[in-house]
Amino acid sequence: MIAFTLRRFLGFAATLLVAALVIFWLLDLLPGDPAQFILGINATPESVARLRVQMGLDAPAHERFLAWIWGMLQGDFGMSYTQRAPVAELIWARLAVTLPLSIFAMVISIVVGLPLGILAARRRGKLLDTAIMVTAQTGVAIPNFWFGMLLTLLFAVTLRWLPPGGFTPWNEDGGAAFRGLILPSLALALPQASILARVMRTALVDVTGQDYIRTARAKGLTMGEAVWRHGVRNALLPVLTILGLQFAYLVAGTIIVENVFYLPGLGRLIFTAISERDLILVRGATIILIVTVTATMLLTDIAYALVDPRLRERSAP
Amino acid sequence: MKRLLSHPSLVIGLVATLLFLALGLLSLVWTPYPIAQIDIPRRFLAPSAAHWLGTDNLGRDMMSLVMAGTWTSFLVAAVAVAIGVGVGVPLGLAAAAWGGAVEWVVLRLTDFVFAFPAVIAAILITTLVGPGAVNAIVAIGIFNIPVFARVARGGALSIATLDFVAAGRLAGLGNTLIAWRHLLPNVMSLIIVQGTIQMSLGILSEAGLSYIGLGTQPPETSLGLMLKDAQGVFLIHPWLTLVPGLAIVLIVIALNIAGDGLRDAIDPRLRQGNPNVLA
């Protein structure tokens, strides 16, 4: 297990390093000089050159790359030159919206999707199964941001139960902050819950045909008990993989949904940074997103191996 | 062909998909009104005989916009699938045919690309070259590559050990010819099924990217861009949001139903779900 974890961790580190290299290389290609940008077009060449030295822009590319990586390992993501603040601080403040949003959405999709999947599998071929699967089929086809707009129309405009958008910081009014995230997390959760319900149903139907369920039945368990005690646990394996991937893409998906509700999350930070050509900020924010995606996949792999010892021996899935 | 047509979900999904595709294709030669025709006095009109789906906040005909937008959505998703198939399938087949170091490199490469969801790729590309429909195509296409590589490798691995492949090797075929003559034809059905899934995901991604301003730009239009345009006024004029959104949902459902039907028709063994349904 230790060897497995270590191998996976090395893979994780390698992926991140290459990703950082790609991002650095791509953004380094861009025309435009940050020093010139900060000082404006009327700056003298001398002052621009002086600032370049000050910002370390005159160093060769590989030195700047290593300095960037080394800085990030110590929590220093550089200074944003449009917001005149440390990138790490800016990102951290936005994660207070993006992370809770992703987690709420994930929790909702698990709480709704898994029971529906189990229910559909237990009533396989019945009306309830068909109803759940048709709903799930529709759920995966609905763009989450459009669903967000519909939710706003219903709950914020017509019923006036929840705010249509905007965000109150947690330390000002925790309850209001939470209420602001309800509709966005529902919007994000819909397609995820639909996928989970489908995967859970398929996995459970697969498992129900296995010998150990028959053995459990032969030992005197009812079908319900056998499925609950032996089936669900085994069926959770494929579901776990999906969950990991889903969380990773949820974090990326929040970027789009934040726009519907005018939430000050990571996505809106990135868009401002793009339009103002704040490359240091774009660089820091994208690498944080990629770290989140890869770290989630790493944790999923390890969790999977913990639950299923058969997987520890094989390196490739 | 007759066997294919005996699957009702395939027929329904395919017909619905083709209807939308025809609508999109028609927009290339004819739309009720030019899509760039701004007519402020005639904005926010309800559906009528003159404007079947009403007009938007700039007085443009919604029907014309939906037609043109549908075409963009199909085009972006289809080219992205082509990129995924064109690069991913050879990689996957090579991994299966050569094994060893080639396989290792391909697997690590696919792992790596999975770390770049389309949104992140689009962010980087937009920062680099500015927004546009081509960005969306490239970003979604890049994301499609590992998907097809995995599907092709998985399918090919189960065939690579069969006798006819061994016979091919005995007859002196190299890895390239084995992959081309024996592996490719046998994974084709898997790829077609995955292709319809990625088509529908591509249409959803295009909508998302255009909605946040990283995809299609005016004066071109797409269903996602229509939703972006409606964003500022959708609380007062929900209609502008409902029309393009419903169009997306219907197209994606049509594609998914066609995909499910295709999967059942081509290979009933695959009926047991597909984990690659992630957005």
Q: Determine how many CB atoms are found less than 10 A away from the CB of residue A254.
A: 28
Q: Which of A25, A37, A129, A145 best tests the B interface by mutation, with the highest count of B CBs <10 A?
A: A145
Each residue of A287-297: pLDDT tens digit?
A: 888 888 888 88
Structural domains present in chain B: 2-23+76-216+227-270 (1.10.3720.10)
Burial of B134 (0-12, 13-18, 19+ CB in 10 A): middle
pLDDT of residue B145: 94
CA A152 to chain centre: 23
Residue A197 confidence class, pLDDT cut points 50, 70, 90: very high
Count A/B contacts: CB-CB distance under 8 Å: 143
Which residues partner with A80 through β-bridges? Answer: A85
Q: Determine how many CB atoms are found less than 10 A away from the CB of residue A141.
A: 22
Mean pLDDT for the stretch of residues B127-143: 87
β-strands A85-86, A79-80 pairing = antiparallel
Mean pLDDT of chain A: 84
pLDDT of residue B164: 82
pLDDT of residue B3: 65
Mean pLDDT for the stretch of residues B22-28: 89
Q: Is A242 on the interface with B (CB under 8 A)?
A: yes
Q: What interhelical angle do A232-261 and A144-151 show, nearest 10?
A: 70
pLDDT of residue A114: 92
Q: Is B92 on the interface with A (CB under 8 A)?
A: no
Each residue of B65-100: pLDDT tens digit?
A: 899 999 999 999 999 999 999 999 999 999 888 888
Reduced to 3 states (helix: H, G, I; strand: E, B; else coil), residue B61 is strand
B22 has pLDDT over 70: yes
Each residue of A207-254: pLDDT tens digit?
A: 877 888 888 888 888 887 887 878 777 788 778 878 887 887 787 788
Between residues B219 and B65, which one has the greater pLDDT? Answer: B65
Each residue of B91-127: pLDDT tens digit?
A: 999 988 888 888 888 888 888 887 777 788 888 888 7
CB distance B115–A199 less than 8 Å? no
B window 192-231, beta carbon within 8 A of A: 200, 204, 207-208, 211-213, 224, 227, 231
ipTM: 0.85
A window 76-115, beta carbon within 8 A of B: none
Q: Contact at 8 Å (CB) between B166 and B141? A: no
pLDDT of residue B278: 36
Residue B275 confidence class, pLDDT cut points 50, 70, 90: very low
- Both ends of chain A: CA-CA distance in Å? 16
B5 has pLDDT over 80: no
Of B124, B227, B257, nearest to A26 by CB-CB distance is B124
Burial code of B159-194, b = ≥16 C-beta within 10 A, e = fewer?
Answer: ebeeeebeebeeeebebeebbeebbbebbebbbebb
